[in-house]
Amino acid sequence: MASPLVEDEVIRVRASGKINLALRSGPRRSDGYHELATIFQAVSVYDDLEARWDEPGRFSVTMTGDQADLVPCDDSNLAVKAAALLARESGNRGLGCQLTIRKAIPVTGGMAGGSADAAAALLACSVLWDLDADPDDLLELGATLGADVPFCLTGGTALGTGRGDRLAPVLSRGSYYWVLVLNEAELSTPAVFGRFDQLRPLGGGEFAMPPELLSALIAGDPAALGRTLINDLEQAAISLHPELAEVLRAGRELGALGGIVSGSGPTVAFLAGDERAAMELSVGLATHGIGRAIRRVHGPVPGARLLS
Ligand code: C5P
């Protein structure tokens, strides 16, 4: 059993979801992954995780939230895998934890919900178990769990290369206001990349980030950013779920500065000029019955962080 001194201890961590402002993909590599160049922005939709001690070698998770039943809570859960991996890497066989996650990031929504939970578990368990882990070591461990996990640890705005897991900061000024349309369809990331391979076997062909996008971020200019959003996976996601084209059209007609399928979808993100415009856009989309649910978020926000 864990020491009685720490049995009641609870560590709370909040992790954010992400939008890809630009996502350029090369063809499939021999390891099954695609070489990417992407700009991530962390946005204010959060999964909250609590970690408590458990018996050595026991790692479990309980999930709450309106899509909780869609997430497996066995050993295949990415947060459980993260905790078990961190314990193994520490070399201490006395570690175990119970995790509780309140889910708000859409499940299989293209917003890195599973990766956010893994990032939260790595941070929470490293504190719970007093491992004094080096942040760079957590990033490295995170990358072995999933390509988006390192970004979910750092948050903010960043360029991701390689599988999307090698990060460099990107200058960004101000806050951006988004309206997310959550959709009924389930699009798995491997299925969307598989469709991308069929549609574009040679890849998107272009790795450069649009210079206008980078200058829009530096200037803090949402109108310019809205014009330059780009996602090489968008056509693949639309071909698997054609209703996404209708959603994109509806948001643009209702005045969004730009709209994009988030990552592998099916969540669609619309950029608004300010908070008030985001409110009006969200009301318009809801009135037209677009999507399963509408959320207003802003970014950039930090990655996984301790809550007091
Ligand atoms: O790394 P993660 O487990 O999140 O990736 C899920 C799947 O998405 C991979 O198994 C792969 O099919 C696809 N993927 C890819 N290229 C990337 C990232 C993900 O093909 N750069």
pLDDT of residue 78: 98
| pLDDT, tens digit (0-9, with 9 covering 90-100), for 274-304 | 999 999 999 999 999 999 999 999 999 999 9
Q: Is 34 in the pocket of ligand 1 (CB under 6 A)?
A: yes
Answer whether residue 241 is part of any domain: yes
Check pLDDT > 80 for residue 266: yes
Catalytic machinery residues: 18, 148
Within 10 angstroms of residue 163's Cβ, the number of other Cβ atoms is 19
pLDDT of residue 38: 97
Answer whether residue 292 is part of any domain: yes
74 and 223 share one domain: no
Answer whether residue 100 is part of any domain: yes
| pLDDT, tens digit (0-9, with 9 covering 90-100), for 94-108 | 999 999 999 999 999
225 and 76 share one domain: no
The ligand 1 atom nearest the CA atom of 25: 21
For 201-236, the three-class secondary structure string (H helix, E strand, C coil) is CCCCCCCCCCHHHHHHHHHCCHHHHHHHCEECCHHH
| pLDDT, tens digit (0-9, with 9 covering 90-100), for 209-260 | 999 999 999 999 999 999 999 999 999 999 999 999 999 999 999 999 999 9
Answer whether residue 188 is part of any domain: yes
Burial of 90 (0-12, 13-18, 19+ CB in 10 A): middle
In the reported structure, the alpha carbon of residue 161 is separated from the centroid of ligand 1 by a whole-number distance in angstroms of 13
Q: Report whether 57 contacts 96 (CB < 8 A).
A: yes
pLDDT of residue 111: 96
Q: Is 243 in the pocket of ligand 1 (CB under 6 A)?
A: no
Write out the two tokens for 82: 């993260």
156 and 181 share one domain: no
Strand partners, 159: 39, 168
Q: For position 17, which CATH number holds?
A: 3.30.230.10
29 and 147 share one domain: yes
83 and 220 share one domain: no
189 and 144 share one domain: no
Check pLDDT > 70 for residue 4: no
Q: How many helices (H) and strands (E) does the chain have?
A: 10, 12
Q: Give the 3-state secondary structure of residue 15.
A: strand
Q: Grade residue 204 by pLDDT with cuts at 50, 70 and 90.
A: confident
pLDDT of residue 205: 78
Within 10 angstroms of residue 183's Cβ, the number of other Cβ atoms is 24
| pLDDT, tens digit (0-9, with 9 covering 90-100), for 149-173 | 999 999 999 999 999 999 999 999 9
Quote the pTM value: 0.95
152 and 199 share one domain: no
pLDDT of residue 7: 67
Q: For position 239, which CATH number holds?
A: 3.30.70.890
Q: Grade residue 6 by pLDDT with cuts at 50, 70 and 90.
A: low
The ligand 1 atom nearest the CA atom of 194: 12
Return d(Cα 108, Cα 50) in angstroms, integer.
22
Instruction: Give 186 or 122, the one with higher predicted confidence.
Output: 122
55 and 105 share one domain: yes
Q: DSSP string covering 284-306, please?
A: HHHHTT-SSEEEEEEE--BSSEE
Check pLDDT > 70 for residue 192: yes
Answer whether residue 3 is part of any domain: no
DSSP assignment, residue 274? S
Q: Is 221 in the pocket of ligand 1 (CB under 6 A)?
A: no
Q: How many domains does the chain have?
A: 2
Check pLDDT > 90 for residue 43: yes
Q: Is 29 in the pocket of ligand 1 (CB under 6 A)?
A: no
128 and 268 share one domain: no
Answer whether residue 51 is part of any domain: yes
Mean pLDDT over each residue of the chain, to the nearest integer:
95
pLDDT of residue 242: 96
Q: Is 165 in the pocket of ligand 1 (CB under 6 A)?
A: no
Return d(Cα 75, Cα 84) in angstroms, integer.
9
Percentage of residues of the chain with pLDDT beyond 90: 92
77 and 196 share one domain: no
Probe target for ligand 1 pocket from 189, 199, 207, 264, with the most ligand atoms within 8 Å of CB: 189
Percentage of residues of the chain with pLDDT beyond 70: 98
128 and 71 share one domain: yes
Which domain, by its residues, includes 195? 176-299
126 and 192 share one domain: no
The kind and range of the H/E element at 283 are: helix 275-287
In the reported structure, the alpha carbon of residue 192 is separated from the centroid of ligand 1 by a whole-number distance in angstroms of 10
CA distances from 261 to 179, 200, 264 (A): 12, 17, 7
